[in-house]
Structure 1
Amino acid sequence: MKRSIRIADDNKVVITGNRLKDGRIVWLTEAGGWSDSIYDARQLDSDVFQTYLDDASKRAAGDGIIDVYEVPVTPGHPPSPISMRERIRAFGPTTHPQFAVKSTS
């Protein structure tokens, strides 16, 4: 079942998935390939992303990619995902300062 997303007028969309070989999160690039860095992600307007998503989904199995879907972002370099879940996927796990390990050096 496809989930609906809300894209504000000033937001863009990037396309993401997971590389089957190693489970890494990947992002669709300007060249149409996949990168494991959101810095390389192609930022799409809301009125055209569906075409890119459909194409990426069709090629996904051949590219060794699974679970392809769109992510709304605030444009920039890098783009910043709107949802916390996608920010964690893009930039790594978070740790609350209360639970951080203090350095002894």
Structure 2
Amino acid sequence: MAAKALKANRLSDGEAVWLSRTGIWETRVTLARVEEDADGIAALEDAARTATADCIVVDAELIDMEIRDGAPVPSKLKERIRALGPTVRLDLGKQAEPESRLGKVA
């Protein structure tokens, strides 16, 4: 089974967020909770339903993840771009933050 994380958009401001291991919706994908077994993935799905019903997030969905250098990274380019921000200027968005461990998108 492929590793999965739960991504969504925060309802209050539309920011892309990922459910963390502590149950907090974080703006940095490197803090995402990653699950690889059926029980863990089911728990992520339950968290998505609860957060959506509580009007915390919208568009919650599971995405494929991989672990690189000990940090979770989205498998698909679309999700890496969502995690980092604009691709036209690397001095803007989350990729400009020093704690970003994803590096360049391209």
Provide the TM-score with structure 2 as the length reference. 0.70
* C-alpha displacement of 1:78: 3.1
CA contact (8 A) 2:6 2:48 kept: no
Counterpart in the other structure of 2:43: 52
Structure 2 unaligned spans of 5+: 90-106
Mapped pair 1:29 → 2:20 = yes
Letter in 2 for 1:89: R
- Percent identical residues: 31
SS at match of 1:79: strand
Structure 1 unaligned spans of 5+: 1-5, 97-105
Cα RMSD (Å): 2.3
Mapped pair 1:85 → 2:78 = yes
* C-alpha displacement of 1:35: 0.7
* C-alpha displacement of 1:41: 0.6
Aligned length: 88
Provide the TM-score with structure 1 as the length reference. 0.71
* 4+ residue runs over 2 A deviation: 46-50
Of 49-58 and 12-21, more deviation after overlay is shown by 49-58
For the pair shown, which has the larger CA radius of gyration, 1 or 2?
1
